[in-house]
Amino acid sequence: MLKIRSPAKLNLVLEVLGERADGYHELRTVMQSIDLCDEISIEEHPLACHLELHTNTMSCPVDEKNLVWQAIHWLREATGFKEGLVITIDKSIPVSAGLGGGSSDAGAVLAALVARYRLNVGHSVLHQTASRIGSDVPFFLVGGTALATGRGEIVAEAPQLAKTSFVLASPSILVETGKVYRGLRLASTPAKTTSSKDACASFLAHIAQPECWEMMVNDLEAPARQLYPSIDEVFEILSALGVKHAMLSGSGGAVFAPVESPEVARQLAVRLSTAGFWSRACESMDRAEFRESVFSG
């Protein structure tokens, strides 16, 4: 049996530059791995090409809608891989919260299977396979701190964030990403261009300094808070608790904030859980820690 951990991500900066002809949006985003992880076990099945998925939550599909299922489908297409598999996903990352749980599961399974079975697939083909599954999936082949562009699938390693404690909180809602993007009303506003102020570059230039937190921005935060008032409640409680620099991750509904220490993060998580929100304390992961989480099994 192969056991791996698939870490969640935060968007420390997320800029939506405009709509694309293919229906996606042009993005610039700084992504960061954190140590909130799903646990995945992979067992062999004697029947070739058999695939069976199990999860610990009803909100996670176990058929072709699951990104892990799609990852294995495209891996078979790319490499001829035929091993029968039974995969169990123990979810800790909430679904549809902007933390990349499904994409992380898919990326981790791709990377782990390629390594375990020594599949003859180059980096570019593996990256293309990941991008066919979802825009976030290529990041989960890299991990740590990274800059993603295009629709999010073009990923480059970035200067590493120093070890940072975060508190996360989310209302019990399923956020519709498409609905949040439509809330931007890009058609009625001038699209950003590559010559616009680059918030990602500003953040990365100051990533080793405390003022980097002042430079975080998420263009999806305003429409998400307007569409889902319970997200606004998370911000209000964090503010009342004296937490600074809170920001939405992705299209939400998870909100995160950097804090002084793991102990402060744990104390805040307890307060937020008592208020009725899902909440966790976590820490950033660098690329080495990210890779160890996927390959430690």
Tens-place pLDDT, residues 85-126: 999 999 999 998 999 999 999 999 999 999 999 998 888 889
Q: What's the pLDDT score for residue 106?
A: 97
What are the b/e assignments for 103-123, b being 16+ CB within 10 Å?
bbbbbbbbbbbbeeeebebee
What is the structure's pLDDT at 296? 62
- pLDDT value of residue 65: 93
pLDDT digits (tens, 9 = 90+) for 192-206: 544 457 999 999 999
Question: Each residue of 70-92: pLDDT tens digit?
Answer: 999 999 999 999 999 999 999 99
pLDDT of residue 192: 56
User: Residue 188 pLDDT more than 50?
Assistant: no
Q: What is the mean pLDDT of residues 251-266?
A: 97
Q: What is the pLDDT of residues 214-237, one digit of tens each?
A: 999 999 999 999 999 999 999 999
The closest alpha carbon to 139, from 252, 267, 14, belongs to 14
pLDDT of residue 189: 45
The tens digit of pLDDT for each residue in 265-280 reads 999 999 999 999 999 9
> What's the pLDDT at 195?
43
d(CA 18, CA 26) in angstroms, rounded, equals: 5
Domains with residue ranges and CATH for the chain: 2-159 (3.30.230.10), 165-283 (3.30.70.890)
Q: Are 169 and 234 in contact (CB under 8 A)?
A: yes
149 within 8 A of 131, measured Cβ to Cβ: no
Catalytic residue positions, numbered: 9, 136
- pTM here? 0.93
